[in-house]
């Protein structure tokens, strides 16, 4: 399997990107509904009206946040999983795939947290530990996995169950962040 396979299929890649953006918007709307201030940065490779329609440039945007919680500009990632769960208690695995290792290694600023969405409308949040070693957060692990969406084998970063948090715990934390003065 080759990573070029999904990138060569621009329509498949665009569909995956558009699905990801729709998930980001759902989470952003939910954050706005509880009174948080958010910003959605959209990488230029998904804006064909600006003349940027090159899927090969995706890796240049590895460090762009899915959602920024403002005013502190905390990066929040959003990942939709083809799994049914309501929260961390019934997540069907002991680890959660947080992305591929290469993307994590390219990050200049890791996300403060990642929201994991389920197909059944459930969600959970995985805060990112502040200490990073060898490109991944301390306490997380890597494993070679098959990515069925992109049809490739990829070294993935996995967060163990001990890092899973509920949506409500995340909202409480996010509201506290917005109230604290920005230094």
Q: Are β-strands 113-117 and 152-160 bridged in parallel, bridged antiparallel, or unpaired?
A: unpaired
Domains detected in the chain:
4-179 (3.40.1350.10)
Cα-based distances in Å from 138 to 100, 129, 131, 151: 16, 7, 6, 28
pLDDT at 112 over 90: yes
Residues in Cβ contact with 89 at an 8 Å cutoff, skipping those fewer than 6 apart? none
Whole-number pLDDT of residue 180: 67
The candidate with the shortest Cα–Cα distance to 164, out of 107, 113, 109, is 113
pLDDT tens, position by position, 17-72: 788 888 999 999 999 999 999 998 865 555 544 444 444 445 555 667 899 998 88
* Residue of 82, 153, 154 lying closest to 120 (CA atoms): 82
List the single range of 13-17, 72-76, 112-116 with lowest mean pLDDT.
Answer: 13-17
> Which two three-digit tokens encode residue 90?
């019934």
Q: Which pLDDT belongs to residue 62?
A: 61
pLDDT of residue 1: 36
CA distance 180 to 71: 10
Q: What is the pTM of this model?
A: 0.83
């Amino acid at each position: 399997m080759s990573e070029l396979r999904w990138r060569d299929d621009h329509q498949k890649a665009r569909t995956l990107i558009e699905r990801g953006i729709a998930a980001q918007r759902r989470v952003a709307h939910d954050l706005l509904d509880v009174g948080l201030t958010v910003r959605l940065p959209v990488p230029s490779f998904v804006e064909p009206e600006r003349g940027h329609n090159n899927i090969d440039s995706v890796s240049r945007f590895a460090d762009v946040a899915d959602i920024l919680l403002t005013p502190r500009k905390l990066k929040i990632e959003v990942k939709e999983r083809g799994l049914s769960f309501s929260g961390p208690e019934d997540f069907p695995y002991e680890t959660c795939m947080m992305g591929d290792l290469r993307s994590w290694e390219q990050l200049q600023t890791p996300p403060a947290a990642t929201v994991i969405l389920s197909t059944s409308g459930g969600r959970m949040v995985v805060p990112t530990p502040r200490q990073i070693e060898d490109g991944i957060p301390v306490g997380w692990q890597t494993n070679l996995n098959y990515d069925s969406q992109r049809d490739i084998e990829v070294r993935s970063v996995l967060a163990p169950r001990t890092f899973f948090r509920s949506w409500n715990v995340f909202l409480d934390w996010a509201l506290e962040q917005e109230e604290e003065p920005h230094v």
